């Protein structure tokens, strides 16, 4: 029998861990002087639920063949993934302070050749779902039971490749993949509705053959219930549209496009960390 998640945190533990990841995000990006806090903070609860409750993975054996795979398609949210990997034990927490520095294993976008636990090298948006489909198809060919999870940005869903991949996953009846959309409503410079309106997003995914679940992406009960439901869906893929807040947890970053890719000043970081205590 395959092992369950070795952490299996309680709801209280998950909430505290998410706050800890958010604190790491602020500290890392401030030290680096660059990075993407907004989308890292919005995704913190989703990533916490996956790494500390749901996914089968082993920090002592990052290449364990039966591990569940997590693909960060919105690769600029690397800080929150690095924080989760460090807190899981893939590398020392102290390394987080090297974010974006020369010779660091923690670059601005994920690199699977540098960072233990990272499954895909990211950069250009739109590639992660296609990559995840390849991983899910490999599991089928190898008769493996691991699941593949892929986190997409909502602005990233402007990319045509996302919808080509969506068609492919439904065509191949991939029921071992779960896509999660970080629906924080803001992309690089503005609200997504102004840049490229995605609505009706749920009906679009349904029309492409996916089972759709919509949730509050900051409610751990809803996140866990949705991930459990996705595992029960057969002969088609599942997508979770997680409604989140850009910059969640830091009042002056919430719903601010400016903090999509801007590091806080030391004074702002101090204020943010106090709010996240």
| pLDDT tens figures, 156-191 | 999 999 999 999 999 999 999 999 999 999 999 999
Asked, for residue 1, whether it belongs to a domain, the answer is no
Sheet holding 148-153, edge to edge: 69-72, 148-153, 177-183, 238-243, 211-216
Give the closest residue to 133 by CA, choosing from 39, 208, 43, 183: 208
Instruction: Report d(CA 107, CA 114) in Å as an integer.
Output: 8
Cβ atoms 25, 87 nearer than 8 A = no
Asked, for residue 4, whether it belongs to a domain, the answer is no
- Please, which residues have CB within 8 angstroms of residue 240's CB and are 6 or more apart in sequence? 178, 179, 180, 181, 213, 214, 215, 226, 227, 230
- Give the residues across from 238 on adjacent strands: 178, 211
Rounded to two decimals, what is the model's pTM? 0.96
Query: Which stretches of the chain drop beneath a pLDDT of 70?
Result: 1-4
Instruction: Report d(CA 211, CA 103) in Å as an integer.
Output: 42
Asked, for residue 5, whether it belongs to a domain, the answer is no
What range defines the domain where residue 172 resides?
A: 11-275
Q: Give pLDDT, residue 3.
A: 52
Cβ atoms 154, 221 nearer than 8 A = no
Q: Give pLDDT, residue 230.
A: 98
Q: Give pLDDT, residue 1.
A: 35
Question: What CATH number does residue 194 fall under?
Answer: 3.40.50.970
What's the whole-number average pLDDT of the chain?
A: 96
Q: Give pLDDT, residue 248.
A: 98
> How many domains is the chain built from?
1
Asked, for residue 6, whether it belongs to a domain, the answer is no
Cβ atoms 42, 124 nearer than 8 A = no
Asked, for residue 269, whether it belongs to a domain, the answer is yes
């Amino acid at each position: 029998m395959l092992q369950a998640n070795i952490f299996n945190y309680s709801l209280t533990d998950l909430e505290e861990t998410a706050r800890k990841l958010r604190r790491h995000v602020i500290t890392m990006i401030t030290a680096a002087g660059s990075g993407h806090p907004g989308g890292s903070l919005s995704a913190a609860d989703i990533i916490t639920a996956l790494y500390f409750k749901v996914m089968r993975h082993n920090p002592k054996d990052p290449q364990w063949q039966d591990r569940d795979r997590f693909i960060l398609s919105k690769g600029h949210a690397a800080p929150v993934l690095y924080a989760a990997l460090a807190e899981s034990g893939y590398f020392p927490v102290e390394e987080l302070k090297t974010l974006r520095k020369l010779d660091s294993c923690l670059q601005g976008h994920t690199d699977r050749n540098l960072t233990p636990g990272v499954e895909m090298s990211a950069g250009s948006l739109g590639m992660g779902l296609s990559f995840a489909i390849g991983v899910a198809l490999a599991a089928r060919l190898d008769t493996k039971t691991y699941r593949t999870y892929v986190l997409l940005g909502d602005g990233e869903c402007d990319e045509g490749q996302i919808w080509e991949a969506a068609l492919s996953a439904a065509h191949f009846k991939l029921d071992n993949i779960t896509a999660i959309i970080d629906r924080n409503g803001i992309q690089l410079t503005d609200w997504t509705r102004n840049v490229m309106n995605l609505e009706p997003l749920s009906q679009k995914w349904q029309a492409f053959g996916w089972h759709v679940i919509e949730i509050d992406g900051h409610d751990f009960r809803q996140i866990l219930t949705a991930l459990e439901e996705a595992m029960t869906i057969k002969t088609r893929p599942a997508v979770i549209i997680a409604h989140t807040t850009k910059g969640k947890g830091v009042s002056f970053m919430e719903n601010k496009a400016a903090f999509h890719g801007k590091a806080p000043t030391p004074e702002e970081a101090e204020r943010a960390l106090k709010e996240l205590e």
